[in-house]
Copies of this chain bind each other. A is one copy, B any other.
Amino acid sequence: MSKSSTVTVRQSPQGSAAVTGPMVVRADTLVIETSQRVELVDVTSLLAQFVAAAGVQEGVLSVWSLHTTCAVFINEAQQALHEDILRALEQLIDRHTDWKHNDPEHSDCDRCNADAHLRAMLLGHSVTLQVSGAELVLGQWQRVLAAELDGPRTRTLRLQALGVGTPVP
């Protein structure tokens, strides 16, 4: 967090809530195209649009990466910090270690992406967010980031809103 952050501050519904009603589930997929081998993509506004249209007033939003080498996690959207995140991932999991997954004897090694698997394992493949007042509950500086770890590729996230809301016709 810093005064010069590029994040737009917005208010998120964070108070109390208490509702009863029929359960609504709405789900869809979100496709993103990445352009680098390792890259962070801020998907927060796309998720907010999905939630606004999903008809769930109070509940949760599951964001699930359908890939082993693409992660989803929470952090601030600031370019300098994103460079730090990529550097930290390189320090934690070295790409050029002689990982067995990259060894032609054990696999065809068409991608040699053991590092991507291991980095995704540390970040996690999903987040389950809260929804309140038909909006995502997020702190002032929090953004939902998809981490491409073996791109460039086309990646699919499955979004599922679940909660008390407007019944599906």
On A, residues with C-beta under 8 Å from B are 1-5, 12, 14-29, 58-60, 62, 64-69, 73-76, 78-81, 83-85, 87-88, 92-93, 99-101, 103, 106-111, 113-114, 117-118, 120-130, 132, 137-142, 156, 158, 160, 162-164, 167-168
A-B contact pairs, 24 of them (CB 8 A): A1-B69, A1-B110, A4-B106, A15-B28, A15-B29, A17-B28, A20-B24, A20-B25, A20-B167, A23-B164, A25-B59, A27-B132, A64-B129, A66-B139, A68-B76, A68-B142, A75-B120, A75-B121, A78-B101, A80-B103, A80-B107, A126-B127, A126-B128, A130-B160
Q: List the 5 closest A-B pairs by CB distance, nearest first.
A: A66-B139, A80-B106, A2-B107, A80-B100, A20-B167
Among B2, B20, B123, contact of A110 (Cβ-Cβ < 8 Å): B2
CB <8 Å contact, A142 and B118: no
